[in-house]
Amino acid sequence: MQAALQKHLKETQGQITNLEKVFKSIGEKAKAKKCEATVGLLEEGDEIAKEFKGSPAINAALIAAGQKVEHYEIASHGCLHEWAGLLGHQEAAELLKENLDQEKAADEALTEIARSEDNKKARDGESETPSDDNLKSSQTRNSRPSAKRLQFATRR
């Protein structure tokens, strides 16, 4: 997960350059503006990190938080790409498509990471392949042993 996040952080720097080029291509000057929605999503990620510290579900929960940011970015870059094309700003549309494709790839990478291991850890605890004995004992204790560990998925 760390490698995927580092890669995307580097891409994000390039996206800023792309956005500056987008503004230049339409004869406008780029101005930085704080995005309150992203700030809120990042605060939620910090809250999740504290809440799930030490839990086998922490990586799955953090991936979910990261994917919320990626989906917001996909919506933003996707709309801007469509509008630039509609208005005939070909260069801007291409630059925005590049950013959009990077956001989609980052989201897909997080999905793959979650599916490969972390979602199963969230479901099963640290044991990735619980033995039959473990399954039987947890089924005896609770008919839905994974419900508590996966509750993060329904609370947000």
Decide whether 7 or 21 has the Cβ nearer to Fe ion. Answer: 7
Q: Which is nearer to Fe ion, 102 or 119 (CB)?
A: 102
Residue number, 48 or 106, with CB nearest to Fe ion: 106
Total interface residues for Fe ion by CB under 5 A = 4
45: alpha, beta or left? (left if phi > 0; alpha if psi -120 to 50): alpha
Round to whole Å and give the CA distance between 103 and 72: 9
Task: Answer whether 63's CB lies under 8 Å from 121's CB.
Answer: no
Task: Please give the Cα distance from 60 to 119 (Å, whole number).
Answer: 5
The backbone torsions φ and ψ at residue 86, rounded to the nearest 5 degrees and listed phi first, read -60, -35
Binding mask 95-114 for Fe ion (x = CB under 5 A): --------x--x--------
- 73 binds Fe ion per the rule CB under 5 A: yes
Which is nearer to Fe ion, 70 or 118 (by Cβ)? Answer: 70
Instruction: Compute the least distance from the CB of residue 80 to Fe ion, in Å.
Output: 14
